[in-house]
Structure 1
Amino acid sequence: MSENPLDTQTFVDDGRAAVDAPMRDALQRLGLLTDDEVARVSAHQAERNLDFDQAALELGFIGPDELDRAREQLINSLALQSDYRRSVSDELVVLTDPLGAKAEAIRLLRTQIIAQHIKPGRRALAMIAPIEGAGCSFLTANLAAALSQVGMKTLIVDANMRSPRVDQIFGLDVGGPGLSSYLSLQAARPERVVNANVLPNLSVISAGPPVARPQELLSSTRFRDGMNMLLREYDIALFDTPPANSSADALTVAAAVGHSIIIARRDQTFVSDVATLSEQLKSARCAVVGAVLNEF
């Protein structure tokens, strides 16, 4: 009797197995999946076209808390390892001057962000200034640090690959592996360019080495897919961006992230600049959560 080709299954390697291997291994290292369960999850994954962790959840082999444990172990194991980091900059006022007016203002902003943005379940914000000099990097870094201080698992991504400053503020290796490394295929997974636990509960992805066409990299599906993968691991992620009037980078990031905060500086930023940026974000289908008038 000849074999009916419809009775056999052919699995095509679409590259997903390699991507899912670290998560699968993390679940096994923690003793959350047996070899038999791994095989059953893999079959269910192929049948339903799911990620490995989604398939394991759907089959009931693991729960959300167990998945969080595996993800944390995965990020820490894949993250950049640094034996030495410089001290954080004095610009990080929530640490260097916690009783000052600047730190108090940032903590007030933190309270509003938690109540109005994070509690509804949103996990990312693009921080955008219409012009240079508004203090976007300063505010982004301090807000991220303030969020981490109240126990929120926070990620800051320096998407300003034109004139990055986040690495300097947090005492990281200037020009070391970062976002550009992942987007230009120098790193296979986004976790590979995470500086984990730079501060308690705070991880950082720096901008990385300079690249020729950052806007093209930020427009790629690799950026969206990689950031979406990371957002599952953190309570909140803040994206620092270059001034909106200097390039399309900020709007590109905002469109991928979906929510934003506009940062203006007193006596320097025109109301018309803020209004124009707000309309541009609306056209990019990015919701503006609010605006901050920076006096510092």
Structure 2
Amino acid sequence: MNPLSSSFPTIKRPPAPGSGEAPIYGKTETPGSGSSIGAILVHTGRLSAENAERISRLQLDEGKRFGEAAIELGLLTEDDIQFALSRQFDNLYLPADDSSLSRRLVAAYQPLSNTVEKLRSVRAQLMLRWFKPEARQKMLAVMSPGKGEGRSFVAANLAIVFSQLGERTLLVDADLRAPCQDKLFKINNKAGLSTLLAGRTGAEAIARISLLPGLYVLPAGPIPPNPQELLGRPGFAELLQSFARDFDIIIFDTPASSSYAEAQMIAAGTGSALLLACKNRSSVRDITSLARDLDHTGVKLVGAVLNILPGQQK
């Protein structure tokens, strides 16, 4: 019997706002459009409920805007107000002084940067070529031949820009050799893909990123001694089907394909791959070989990205 089938419950979509249902993936998402500035700031811990009441009293007594009253009382800064306004207009980013996530998540911290604009361009092409509603395609593996070529960086930031588009997005850290999405999003890695496949945990392994509404991350979990065998179990296919039922976009971070066979096992499961090449690091021979191998296994190569970003991303 497949151990996953008895231990992994069907993932339900998070409840609609105002439905009265309790969320299943951790905390309720940050209030956005339709919420008051005060409610957003209280929810995100920038303002206490007591101080929100003080601001409201001054606002009513003197006919001021909430932000004006808050700054006059010295309880909030202009940056706090801009943060709340961005949430009201669904322009979801994190302010520079917020250390909740890794700075490598540029789509969360630097929405106007050239790097993020290029990520949005990749997103647009994927929406046109692959994630079209009529095609019912939802999954994508980010792949490259070698180590240090930027797969984790690209996968994480692509997941963020898709969630900013309003897509219910799941990022899966399927690199069971050297995972890092838990470090980028600063989430617990005691449970994840490995424990799901081993039948030891259920949907609670999926983390809701409350600061980025619509984004969920499944970390890799503890590094197993047998990643190929885990991913080769029938339970992996069942897990993918469950993801496809409950999320709009599912992006997989993968290990280096030239070193570990499970990278192509993941791609075969998702049915599609985004090929990543790193300038001055990836060889044409290795990229060509990977593209040929994907074609031979029936995996749709939906596009290629040249990573010229600085640093030593995986």
- State which of 155, 176, 182 in structure 2 corresponds to 1:161: 176
Structure 2: stretches of 5+ with no match in the other structure: 29-44, 46-98, 310-314
String of CA shifts for 1:200-237, please: whole Å, max 9, x gaps.
10001000011101111011110110121111111110
Question: How many corresponding residue pairs?
Answer: 235
Give 1:68-217 correspondences, 5 Å limit. Answer: 76-77=23-24, 79=25, 87-119=100-132, 120-173=135-188, 175-187=189-201, 189=202, 191-198=203-210, 199-217=212-230
Name the structure 1 match of 2:68.
Answer: none
Pairwise CA distance, 1:21: 8.0
Residue 312 of structure 2 corresponds to residue 290 of structure 1: no
String of CA shifts for 1:144-174, please: whole Å, max 9, x gaps.
000000101100000001100111111112x
Q: In the superposition, relative to structure 1, how do residues 234 and 222 fare at CA in structure 2: closer, same or farther (>3 Å)?
A: same
Q: In the superposition, relative to structure 1, how do residues 22 and 144 fare at CA in structure 2: closer, same or farther (>3 Å)?
A: closer
Aligned residues of 2:140 and 2:273 also touching (Cα < 8 A): yes
Give 1:11-26 correspondences, 5 Å limit. Answer: none
Pairwise CA distance, 1:114: 1.2
Q: In the superposition, relative to structure 1, how do residues 110 and 219 fare at CA in structure 2: closer, same or farther (>3 Å)?
A: same
Pairwise CA distance, 1:75: 10
* DSSP-derived class of the 2:274 partner: strand
Q: In the superposition, relative to structure 1, how do residues 95 and 213 fare at CA in structure 2: closer, same or farther (>3 Å)?
A: same
Aligned residues of 2:14 and 2:23 also touching (Cα < 8 A): no
- State which of 224, 227, 239 in structure 2 corresponds to 1:226: 239
Identity %: 32
Name the structure 2 match of 1:40.
Answer: none
Residue 277 of structure 2 corresponds to residue 276 of structure 1: no
Aligned residues of 2:10 and 2:242 also touching (Cα < 8 A): no
Name the structure 2 match of 1:37.
Answer: none
Higher helix residue share: 1
String of CA shifts for 1:64-106, please: whole Å, max 9, x gaps.
xxx8969x999942x3579x9x711000001112221111111
Aligned residues of 1:75 and 1:196 also touching (Cα < 8 A): no
Name the structure 2 match of 1:57.
Answer: none
String of CA shifts for 1:105-155, please: whole Å, max 9, x gaps.
111111111111111321000111111111000000000000000101100
* DSSP-derived class of the 1:133 partner: coil
Aligned residues of 1:134 and 1:263 also touching (Cα < 8 A): yes
* DSSP-derived class of the 2:158 partner: helix
Q: Partner letter of residue 267 of structure 2?
A: A
Whole-Å Cα distance in 1 between the matches of residues 241 and 256 of structure 2?
A: 23
Pairwise CA distance, 1:176: 1.9
Name the structure 1 match of 2:57.
Answer: none
Whole-Å Cα distance in 2 between the matches of residues 20 and 136 of structure 1?
A: 28
Q: In the superposition, relative to structure 1, how do residues 135 and 69 fare at CA in structure 2: closer, same or farther (>3 Å)?
A: same
TM-score w.r.t. the length of structure 2 is 0.68
* DSSP-derived class of the 1:272 partner: helix
Q: Partner letter of residue 142 of structure 2?
A: M
Residue 255 of structure 2 corresponds to residue 242 of structure 1: yes
Pairwise CA distance, 1:197: 3.8
Q: In the superposition, relative to structure 1, how do residues 171 and 280 fare at CA in structure 2: closer, same or farther (>3 Å)?
A: same
Q: Partner letter of residue 275 of structure 2?
A: I
Whole-Å Cα distance in 2 between the matches of residues 151 and 272 of structure 1?
A: 38
Whole-Å Cα distance in 2 between the matches of residues 211 and 136 of structure 1?
A: 21
Runs of 4+ in structure 1 off by over 6 angstroms are 14-23, 72-75
